[in-house]
Structure 1
Amino acid sequence: MTRKAPPRLDPRCYTSGVVVCASKSDRKVYYVSKGRIIKTLDARFGGRAYDTSGRQRIYSTKEGSFTIFRKVRDEVSYSYDNTPMPFTSYFYGGQAFHYSYGFARSGWNGDWGSHGCINLRDWAGAEWLYNNMPIGTRVVIYK
């Protein structure tokens, strides 16, 4: 039996409190408390997507340390075809964690991605993260 290597957390994820860490290379979100991973969720980051005029372009998810500054349980993206975005937690401008029906349906689809948000494909996991990530929660996004 082969053991799976533990996830590679950024050093900023090892704190005495709670931090939500998002690894672009692992395509995962880790809810970390006191340096221990409590929950792991599949994630899709910024990538190739259509802009508001219907052209393809590349969007990227900002890397760095942030804090959750706004939460909306039943958000809608009016910029992108009134797309529902349940369990939305904003960390940088319009970038946020949220459940994605498209990601749940299609998974990782080549280099297609979000418009910069961190999409979550597990409904129960997205709801859990939303409920356990109050405004002010620290977020670390890294390669």
Structure 2
Amino acid sequence: MADVDRGNRPLSPHLQVYKWPLNMAMSILHRITGVALGIVTALIAIWFFALAWSPDAFAAVNGLMTSWLGWLVLLGGAVSAWFHFVNGIRHLVWDTGSHFGQKRVNRTAVIGLAVTALLTIATIWVALAV
């Protein structure tokens, strides 16, 4: 086998070298929000199970879910739900074979983020109005 001096060879570029395209970040966020939706759904199910179990169990879980941490988790769930929904529609449009190309993909990503923000704000507004 050849004697190779591994100390003088250049290293291949890593993630820090590359600029993340918006579409790659949206794809990663879509997967993360899918997992987050599963977790938030499980927490809400536990909340309902505690309501059915006993008043003491409900008081404990309700105290946690209505605390600042619970509100933060529910807000994250709302953002995740709207992002996953809007990005899912974007993927459905792609499944038809349209809106491909770098400019269109970037435009729909920015529009998706804006719509996610607007729908989350609307959700908060409706939740606080009740």
Question: Structure 2 length normalisation: TM-score?
Answer: 0.21
Rg larger in structure: 2
Question: Structure 1 length normalisation: TM-score?
Answer: 0.20
More strand by share: 1
